[in-house]
Structure 1
């Protein structure tokens, strides 16, 4: 090799070392940048110059022509990326569920500084006091007052649960907007990355960092699968359906009319909705059943990865309607598929069932009592029951879905449609608890006491233990507390898993200042060595030219 050619060898060393120094400086400058991935220069040898080939020799006689700068690559682990995005989604799922149960505990145990259990206990005490002197206007008034307090606080608790349900519903819209935004941004980054890398001269590493960060955030909202093609495009599946393609994003839309009974938002794939033209020639959506984002009747299981994503957790916690005791039926399959997995609807149904049972039992006893004033006036016996419907039309509760097993129409008191009988509220002594012959109606009072202590009621079809009115609420609160502890334990364990995966990933993608300083010294020495090499070759050329010239 000529001396002139040796200058190119030195020049390749200078150029490669300078590129490596620039990459190291870039790493150091972004050591605290969120989502930044450590970059690394890949070096290789240029083609060797072969001087002589002797096959009997160990190696051919060759001369190196310098170092080659191949590319600047990101240092990442695809396995850890996938694990991190899956586990963060699972952690988000249980975190949302745990917080929902915490909110329910607050609603059940505290109302304006006073526990609901106190109003239930006060009603029981009023029944006991009535037994001491049934015909006393004082005890009769106390009973009506406590019953009114009981129903008022029950409505407050139920309204609080509904309010939180509506808050969860409002977050669904925000989450769907975020998911669509991440999808749009990933598609935009795909285009930018392909444009830059199509020349095969450089890697769009900073754009890839942003795209990876979008995938990390998207993984919190639901189960994602993704794949990068040879051109640098990343295609994404969200919950098993195509989300981001090479040139398009399938947006998620929200329905509040077709599949929802009370205006709660139902996410669906916009492209899969059924559309028809109306009389005005306008295209309208007629059904979204073929494009629903989730099948919320599926059992929640880590094995089948159905417990991933905070959007699904919010939808499950919220449910699709305001549940009542009608949802707790003898059809266990209906309850398990549609109610039990929603913490809000489950508690609403169980709580409403308790209030319904109390009101129904008291009304039945008063309606059949010998002291019912209607026996003397000839009025309907239900005229003087303690609880009445606030709106007669509300007594007909229609189905919430085709699969509801209880028939087309259901009747009965719920928290929302009940109130204290205005007749008794105006004059509590109207129901005198005195029979036609003038004696105290102790039998009716005894029945009221027995109604509170009789253990006839279960929380739901999956529970076998029976409760009385006085123990039902405590069992309900205990169930919420136990479920909350379970979710908190799962959430804590999942948080540790996410932390372990994150730390493992950070060891690979993270920038270490000590390591980068070592690289900087190494590349600086390599640069200096190349510079010294060029100086030596230059001196040799100068000496050779000077000698020949003389």
Structure 2
């Protein structure tokens, strides 16, 4: 519903641009008529001037503009410092679709100024960028459909401490500088719109819920490449039949399915690694078939097999490594976001794939996963810290409190905007009343003035008649 409302605002932008262009054409027309009529210096084009003033009043509801009148009676109008009307000539605004979003940005079509509005910074009263309904709709709509990736994530100090307990202060400062730059960008874009802000907040909530559920049914191990033993193996085979270079696994850090502790499905194959929620086009794991087992070492120095062992009817052993496909925030198909999220189609087709049984590796053949606390751990995850609602705040919430504060914050902000709208309306009405007292025509006031002038005329007439009679009397009597 939020996305639908956002699209409707995009349509409103196009409608307002058309209306502004129409006003510009009419102002240019009246400029021509005023100059023509007043050229001889005999009369004023009052009707045309009144009509032009009304158009300026209407234009002021859409955009912030300035104007000046030349000595011939023509007018120049500037929108955001760009020439809009110059005497009998007017320039036009147009809507251009921004790549990858389908949203409009407003550009000048024929005066060479390019973008009509700077949308890279938050609106400002000081810079007069908070004036006009077109600016307001552009701000409210935002620049894109926001998601969790638009919420800056503050670096955690513990991530910059190595195994020896040494803190990498330089790397942490670099990460913090990048984070502060992201916060500034957030405040100027996503956080500048109440719509994109709530989109990002809600998507962050859903993203974390989905991760908690998927990680409960298909838990991962984080493996450090320097602790991987390939045991002589060099090549594996992907599901597509392509060769996979196993030496890639000996560098960096990555995630794989915990084949020893994950629950299994109730189907005959005891399937593992089935996620509940899927990304748009990317599987949770890249499955790599190996000829032999590969290992890692845990904190106690124990050797752990990383691949799932299977034995066919002929007794042949094969091993499958489930390499987790990390999210890529630059590609929506690789993200667990509302904009691409679906329930796993394999689960919809076959519910038995849902991993609710204990892993046979734990010695609980045929048992359900209740004994492994799968569902209790899932419930406990609701008490874990999800994150902050706003990068400008340090307050972090668990899942329940996050949702409560998200809705409460939206209500408080909406109520604040409603109060501001009511105040602005009262201010406009007050100013309009004062203007009408100067420019407007009050029938009651005009009637009073007519009666006043009529009585004054009658009094003056009687005075003249009296003087005339006195003079006539004097002339007749004394002449």
- Cross-structure match for 2:359: 435
Is the CA contact (8 Å cut-off) linking 1:261 and 1:320 kept in structure 2?
Answer: no
Q: 1:524, CA displacement in angstroms? A: 5.8
Match of 2:152 among 325, 329, 336: 329
Q: 1:460, CA displacement in angstroms? A: 3.2
| Secondary structure at 2:264 match in 1 | coil
| Secondary structure at 2:336 match in 1 | coil
Is the CA contact (8 Å cut-off) linking 2:129 and 2:135 kept in structure 1?
Answer: no
Distance 1:393 1:333, change over 3 A: farther
Whether 1:499 and 2:423 are equivalent positions in the alignment is: no
| Secondary structure at 2:211 match in 1 | helix
Higher helix content, 1 or 2: 1
- Cross-structure match for 1:309: 132
Q: 1:303, CA displacement in angstroms? A: 3.0
- Cross-structure match for 2:75: 234
Aligned length: 349
- TM-score, normalised relative to structure 2: 0.66
Whether 1:203 and 2:26 are equivalent positions in the alignment is: no
Whether 1:452 and 2:376 are equivalent positions in the alignment is: no
Q: 1:498, CA displacement in angstroms? A: 1.0
Distance 1:171 1:229, change over 3 A: same
Whether 1:268 and 2:160 are equivalent positions in the alignment is: no
> Bigger shift: 170-179 or 449-458?
449-458
Q: 1:364, CA displacement in angstroms? A: 1.5
Is the CA contact (8 Å cut-off) linking 2:266 and 2:357 kept in structure 1?
Answer: no
Whether 1:477 and 2:393 are equivalent positions in the alignment is: no
Q: 1:291, CA displacement in angstroms? A: 1.1
Gaps of 5+ in 1: 1-159, 274-289, 396-405, 537-550
Q: 1:323, CA displacement in angstroms? A: 1.5
Q: Distance in 2 between matches of 1:336 and 1:305?
A: 18
Q: 1:271, CA displacement in angstroms? A: 2.3
Q: Distance in 1 between matches of 2:275 and 2:266?
A: 10
Higher relative contact order (CA 8 A, sep 6+): 1
Whether 1:354 and 2:205 are equivalent positions in the alignment is: yes
Q: 1:463, CA displacement in angstroms? A: 2.9
| Secondary structure at 1:244 match in 2 | strand
Q: Distance in 2 between matches of 1:531 and 1:199?
A: 39
- Cross-structure match for 2:262: 370
- Cross-structure match for 1:244: 85
Is the CA contact (8 Å cut-off) linking 1:182 and 1:214 kept in structure 2?
Answer: yes
- TM-score, normalised relative to structure 1: 0.58
TM-superposition CA deviations, 1:15-65 (whole Å, max 9, x none): xxxxxxxxxxxxxxxxxxxxxxxxxxxxxxxxxxxxxxxxxxxxxxxxxxx
Whether 1:221 and 2:62 are equivalent positions in the alignment is: yes
Distance 1:306 1:419, change over 3 A: same
| Secondary structure at 1:432 match in 2 | strand
TM-superposition CA deviations, 1:444-483 (whole Å, max 9, x none): 2222112112123222322322222223222211111111
Higher strand content, 1 or 2: 2
| Secondary structure at 2:191 match in 1 | coil
